[in-house]
Structure 1
Amino acid sequence: MPLYKTINPNSQTTVKIWKIEESYDDLIQSIDLTPESLERVLRMKSNMHQRGFLSVRCLLAEFGYQDSDLFYDENGKPHLQDGKQISITHSFHFSAVIVSDLIVGIDVEKQRDKITIIAHKFIDYEKSYLKENDEGYIKKLTAIWCIKESLYKLFATPGLSFQQHCLVIPFSNIDNETVAWIDYKTKKYRYNIDFLTFEGFTCAYAIA
């Protein structure tokens, strides 16, 4: 079972990353799904999405949970039956889950040139330190997207905008942490962010 990496940011939090190498058949035979989850995975048209969904359930098992321990609220935010906080993500052949006593968010993304096409939709303040000609521009853009996505999942508030409400403090491509802010309505929230890169992917997680 390809558990790729386990990270313990603090005594209350664990991150687990899975490299999806198994076939759909191998994955679905290794876990027990609720009828609702089985129906959901069978409706997926993409084999990659199916395997991502199933690999997240494999990660749940690594934490000692079953698929039936996971449920979603009206905003699509995942929760665990025991009250622990959880956030999940998958992109191509990697998936990740963070479980904590604290409120958390996580995202993993493949580093691709096409992110430049949508950059104008999620960066604003960050233009002050981003340089398109820099060698690590794509890597840095991907990290900013992952950071803002993890904040979005953590904050779980409809109407939150990546571009207008989320700010990522400058960092270098050799850093593995930074500070980010959510500036929403009349309040400002500061978060310490950790991120890492591996095999052309970036993963970031936020802990409240």
Structure 2
Amino acid sequence: MPLYKSISVNSQTTVKIWKIEESYSDLLQPLDLKPQSLERVLGMKSELHQRGFLSVRHLLHEFGYTDQDLFYDDNGKPHLKDGKHISITHSFTFSGVIVSDKEVGIDIEMQRDKIAVIAHKFVDYEFNYLDKSADDYINKLTVIWGIKESLYKLFATPGMLFKEHFLVIPFTFDDGETIAWIDYKGRKYRYNTAFLEFEGFTCAYVVP
């Protein structure tokens, strides 16, 4: 079972990342899925999505949970029955789960040049410190997207916009962390964020 990485963020927060190498049937076989989860996975058109969905259930098991412990609210945000906070992500061959006593968000993205084409849709303030000619421009954009996606998952409030309401403070890859802000409806919220790169992917997560 390829648990790829486990990160102890702090005493209340853990990140676990899975490298999806198993076949669909090998992932499905040991799991005890709720009827609605089974219906959902069988309805997915892409085997990549099916394997991502199932690998998340294996990550739950790594935390000591089962599919029965997980439920979603009307905004599509995942919750655990014991009251701990959870966020989930999967992208191609990796999936990730963060569990904490506090609100959290996580995102994994493949690093791809085409993110530069849509940068204007999610970057505003950050253009002040980004260098479009730098070798790490794509990687930095991917970090910013991942942090903003994580913030969006954490806040789970329809109407929030990456470009207008989320702000990522300048960072270096050596630091592997930065501060992010949500500025929404006259209120400001500050978050600690961290990020890491592996095998052409970027993982970012946020904790209040």
Amino acid at match of 1:51: R
Take 1:87 and 1:112, find their aligned partners in 2: how far apart are those partners?
Answer: 23
Amino acid at match of 1:207: V
Deviations 1:142-177 (CA, angstroms, capped at 9, x unpaired): 000000001111111111110000000111233300
Take 1:118 and 1:26, find their aligned partners in 2: how far apart are those partners?
Answer: 37
Q: Could you say what the CA RMSD is over the residues aligned between the two structures, in angstroms?
A: 0.7
Tell me the secondary structure at the aligned position of residue 113 of structure 2.
coil
Where does residue 11 of structure 1 map in the other structure? 11
Amino acid at match of 2:172: S
Tell me the secondary structure at the aligned position of residue 192 of structure 2.
strand
Take 1:92 and 1:145, find their aligned partners in 2: how far apart are those partners?
Answer: 17
TM-score w.r.t. the length of structure 1 is: 0.98
- Alignment check: 8 A CA contact 1:87 1:98 kept: yes
Take 1:200 and 1:42, find their aligned partners in 2: how far apart are those partners?
Answer: 29
Deviations 1:32-65 (CA, angstroms, capped at 9, x unpaired): 1111000000110011000000000000000111
Tell me the secondary structure at the aligned position of residue 15 of structure 2.
strand
- Alignment check: 8 A CA contact 1:17 1:97 kept: yes
More displaced stretch, 92-101 vs 169-178: 169-178
Amino acid at match of 2:151: L
Tell me the secondary structure at the aligned position of residue 146 of structure 1.
helix
Q: How many percent identity over aligned positions?
A: 73
Take 2:110 and 2:175, find their aligned partners in 1: how far apart are those partners?
Answer: 18
Where does residue 163 of structure 1 map in the other structure? 163
Take 1:188 and 1:26, find their aligned partners in 2: how far apart are those partners?
Answer: 45
Take 1:126 and 1:5, find their aligned partners in 2: how far apart are those partners?
Answer: 29
- Alignment check: 8 A CA contact 1:139 1:173 kept: no
Where does residue 197 of structure 2 map in the other structure? 197
Take 1:148 and 1:188, find their aligned partners in 2: how far apart are those partners?
Answer: 15
Take 2:74 and 2:192, find their aligned partners in 1: how far apart are those partners?
Answer: 27
Take 1:193 and 1:128, find their aligned partners in 2: how far apart are those partners?
Answer: 19
Point out where structure 1 has 5 or more consecutive residues left out of the alignment: none
Tell me the secondary structure at the aligned position of residue 4 of structure 1.
strand
Take 1:119 and 1:53, find their aligned partners in 2: how far apart are those partners?
Answer: 28
Pairing 1:73–2:76 present:
no
Where does residue 104 of structure 1 map in the other structure? 104
Tell me the secondary structure at the aligned position of residue 58 of structure 1.
helix
Tell me the secondary structure at the aligned position of residue 163 of structure 1.
helix
The aligned runs of 1:8-47 (5 Å cut-off) are 8-47=8-47
TM-score w.r.t. the length of structure 2 is: 0.98
Q: CA deviation at 1:99?
A: 0.5
Where does residue 55 of structure 1 map in the other structure? 55
